[in-house]
Chain A
Amino acid sequence: MEIVQILIIVFSLFALSRVFINIKDRNLEKLEIIFWTLFWLAAIFVAIFPASITIIAELLGVERGVDLLIYGVIILLSYMIFRLYAKLENTEKRITKIVRTIAIKNENNIHK
């Protein structure tokens, strides 16, 4: 086993432990838990059996396993950035709402 394989396995185990901590704290939704658990388990599997990814790649019409991996990761990252962007916009709007409510509540109203 190459060092890189061990590193991937160790990191994936660490990431898995994070997922489980988040389950305990109820920060993640059910679907997210399933997704991330499967994701890191798959990473461990691929690290132990690198040939497996090549088989899948060939099935999908991609020449090399590594290429498939890179395509997949780029798509995943793009989607996550999009989600973050949408969430951030939403959070900004909510902050404005709070700030507005406070401003109107604490009006300095001399006309009254």
Chain B
Amino acid sequence: MSEPYIVIAAYNEEKNIGNVIENLKSEGYSKIIVVDDGSSDNTYSIAKSQNIFVLRHIINRGQGAALQTGMTYALKHGAEYIVHFDADGQHDAKEIKEILLPLQLKRAQVALGSRFLKKQKIPLKRKILLKGGIIAVWVLNGIKLSDTHNGFRAFTKEAAKKISITSDKMEHASEILEKIKKHKISYEEVPVTIKYTEETLKNGRKGQGHFDSVKILLKMILKKVGV
């Protein structure tokens, strides 16, 4: 089977990116694409020292934009499978195997990580926020999932070509689901673990504070009504 391309969008992740890359390597993955999204810290040089693909946005464009840059690049290099993986160490590299399984067995073209399918402790505040996102996606896009805003995903190359992310910022999570629905792409949810550390909670995945959630919801609605 051909090796998956792991796409990581990183913005000011100098503390975590090194570890994340090493964990991926120790699991045997070598096709790692880090897209440094105009970080002001050492994210770029740390990633560059790691013998992987490193792309750099000269200015910050948001996570959606960075992921799409990575996907475009991976497709250009003939990727068969593309995995989205978080730069902050929230995801477990061991679970990439599991998220790829539905694609390899041809059960689905997209696999979406879900933290709610796995028994684990999720902070209450975060839980409320995420459940809100699930309801919003359900109402707006008609897709009912157990976890809509999970950055751990896998795509076949066919699906990746159809799902071209145009939302630069955090609405990309909803946009991906929207496109899955629109292009009738088969998908499956896969239970994944999310490691909550004090830091990841504080960061709230940069630019996804509670106020931003409202902004994202507004943008989703505006998009629905055709603005």
Contacts and interface: CB of A to CB of B under 8 A. Distances in A.
B73 A104 contact: yes
Which label, helix, strand, loop or mixed, suits the secondary structure of the A interface? helix
A99 B35 CA distance: 11
A82 B55 contact: no
Interface residues of B, number: 22
Nearest to A109: B53
Interface in A66-107: 82, 85-86, 92-93, 95-96, 99-100, 102-104, 106-107
Interface string B209-221: 0000000000000
Interface residues of A, number: 18
B59 interface: yes
Contacts of B227: 82, 85-86
Contacts, number: 52
B68 interface: yes
B179 interface: no
Which label, helix, strand, loop or mixed, suits the secondary structure of the B interface? mixed
Interface of B: 35, 38, 48, 51-59, 61, 65, 68-69, 72-73, 76, 166, 168, 227
20 contacts: A85-B227, A95-B61, A96-B61, A96-B65, A96-B168, A99-B58, A100-B57, A100-B65, A103-B35, A103-B55, A103-B56, A103-B57, A103-B69, A104-B55, A104-B69, A104-B72, A106-B55, A107-B54, A108-B54, A109-B53
Given A100-B69, A110-B51, 4 more contacts: A99-B57, A100-B61, A104-B72, A104-B76
